[in-house]
Structure 1
Amino acid sequence: MSEYLILVDKDDNPIGMEEKVRCHLPDGKLHRAFTVLLFDKKDRLLLTRRSPSKMLWPGDWDGTVASHPRKSETYVSSAERRLPEEIGASCRLDYLFKFEYHVPYKNIGSENEICGTLVGIVDDSFSVKLVEDEISEVKWASPDELFSDIERNPQNYCPWMLVALHLLEKSDNTMLQKHHKTLAKWIEQKNRLEESLKHHFPTGNWRLLN
C-alpha cells in the first residue's frame, strides 16, 4: 500500500497529500517531516545508520529517527508513534523547532521538507531493537566524537541531522531551559558543523521557521 505525505506551503500550512515516492523525486514536493534526537544521561546522542535498502542516503548516519507525520498527527505524536516502529523503543518527546530545507541525493531524488525537531532524554534502562529495512546499526556519540567525525567525513551523515544540530540554540526557550544540561554541551560546539553544512548545502538552501 502506498504511503501518502502531507504537502505544505512555506509556512507549514497543509495544502494536500501526495504519494511518498513522488514527494522524494529530484523535483520533490515540499512536505512535512520530523527528526528525533535522543540523548542519554551522559549527554550522548543516539545515532542510527540508515538501511542500505533506503532510496535516499542509504547507509548514511542519521540522528535517532527521521520520518513523516500522518494526517491529523502533531510532530510530537507522530514521532512518539514512529520511535518503536524504527528502533523498538519508546520515549516521551519535546518539540524544539522546525526548519525548511531542500537537498538533492545524486540523480535519484531529493528531500524537500519542513522538518520538526524533537528531543528526548533516556535513562540507563533504555535499549534498542533494530527494525529490519529501517536501521542497520546504532551507536552513542558525545559532541566531540560526533563533530570530529563529521569534520573528517561529512559525506557519511544525513544533511537534515546536521541542520537540526546546528539550530539547537534556536529551540523554544522553555525547552532550552528544561534540557539545558544536555543541549548546552552540543550548542557549544555547533560552529564545527559549518564546513559540513557547506558540503551538503553549497547554496545554503535551508532556513529556520518561526
Structure 2
Amino acid sequence: MAFTEVILVDERDQPLGRMEKLKAHQEGMLHRAVTVYVFNPAGELLLQQRAEGKYHCGGLWSNTCCGHPAPHEETASAAQRRLYEEMGLSCALTPAFSLQYRLPLSNGLVEHEFGHVFFGISGQAPKLNPAEAMAYRYQPLEAVLAETRYNPALFTPWFLLTLPDIPARFHEFLRLRYAG
C-alpha cells in the first residue's frame, strides 16, 4: 500500500504536519523516513537495485529498503511494512541509529530526511516487488564499500552517505545482540 503523505518534522524529529510525498521532495522539506539494512547469517548485506520506474534513483543500488512512515504510523512499523512491501521479507528489526541529511537528487528533487535506521538478520530469500526493486544481491560489507568508492554513480546518494558508518554500527549491533 503506497502512502502519498509524509510526516514533516523539525530538527529533533518532532512532527510539524503532513505534506504530499512528491511535493515534500520537490520543496526539500524535512520529513521522517525509515531505512533498513538486512544481513544474512554470514553477515553479508542484502542490497536492492531500485526499480527503473521509481520517481527518483531508479536503477540504482541501495540498502535493503527504505520509505516513509504514514501519518500516525510508528517508525518501527513502517520499517517492517516497507521491508515486506519491497522485498517480501519479514524479520525482527532493531533500531540502530538516526541521522538527518539533505541530498539533492539528479532530477531536481531533494531528499531532506530525518532517517531512522534499522538492522535485521534473515536467512530468507527475498521475493521482490517489481514496482519497487528489480534485483538483489548479498555482498560482504568490505566489498560493498570498495564498490561504492570505485563506482559511486551506481548507488543512491543516501546509501553512499550512510554506508561508511554501517560496519562499526553493525558490529555494535551484533555485540549487543549476542551479549550475555
> By the TM > 0.5 criterion, same fold?
yes
Within 5 A, what are the aligned runs for 1:118-197? 118-123=118-123, 126-168=124-166, 171=169, 175=173, 177-179=175-177
Is 2:14 aligned against 1:13?
A: yes
Q: Which runs of 5+ in 1 are unaligned?
A: 182-210
Conserved 8 A contact 2:141-2:167: no
Q: Verify the 8 A CA contact 1:56 1:110 in the aligned structure 2.
A: no
Alignment of 1:38-57 (within 5 A): 38-57=38-57
CA RMSD of aligned residues (A): 2.3
Cα distance in structure 1, aligned partners of 2:50 and 2:178:
29
The alpha-carbon deviation at position 40 of structure 1 amounts to 0.7
Distance 1:100 1:122 in 2: 27
- 2: CA distance, partners of 1:107 / 1:56: 7
For the Cα contact (< 8 Å) 1:44–1:140, is it kept in 2? yes
User: Which structure 2 residues correspond to residues 25-36 of structure 1 after superposition, within 5 A?
Assistant: 25=26, 27-36=27-36
Looking at structure 2, the residues matched to 92 and 9 of structure 1 have their Cα atoms a distance apart, in angstroms, of 28
1:80 alignment partner AA: Q
Instruction: State the one-letter code of the partner of 2:151.
Output: N
Cross-structure match for 2:90: 90
Matched-pair contact (CA < 8 Å) for 2:56–2:107? no
Corresponding pairs, count: 178
Match for 2:61: what amino acid? W
Match of 2:110 in 1: 110
Q: Is the 1:31–1:113 Cα contact (8 Å) retained in structure 2?
A: yes
Q: What is the CA–CA distance in structure 2 between the aligned matches of 1:172 and 1:9, rounded to whole Å?
A: 27
Which residue identity lines up with residue 134 of structure 1 in the other structure? E
Q: CA deviation at 1:172?
A: 10
Q: Distance in 1 between matches of 2:19 and 2:70?
A: 12
Summarize the alignment of residues 72-83 of structure 1 with structure 2, pairs less than 5 Å apart: 72-83=72-83
Q: Which residue of 2 aligns with 1:202?
A: none
User: 4+ residue stretches of structure 1 with deviation over 4 A?
Assistant: 169-174
Using structure 2 for the length normalisation, give the TM-score. 0.90
TM-score (norm 1): 0.78
AA at the equivalent of 1:152: Y
Alignment-mate amino acid for residue 37 of structure 2: L
In structure 2, relative to structure 1, the CA distance for the partners of 1:176 and 1:11 (3 Å cut) is: farther
Amino acid at match of 2:4: E
Shift of 1:151: 1.2
1:66-125 Cα offsets, whole Å, 9 max, x none, are: 1001122222111112211111121110001111111111243111101100000113xx
1:176, distance to aligned residue in structure 2 (A): 5.6
Q: What percent of counterpart residues are identical? A: 33
Letter in 1 for 2:48: T
> Aligned residue for 2:66?
66
Corresponding residue SS for 1:167: helix
**Where in structure 2 are there 5+ consecutive unaligned residues?**
none
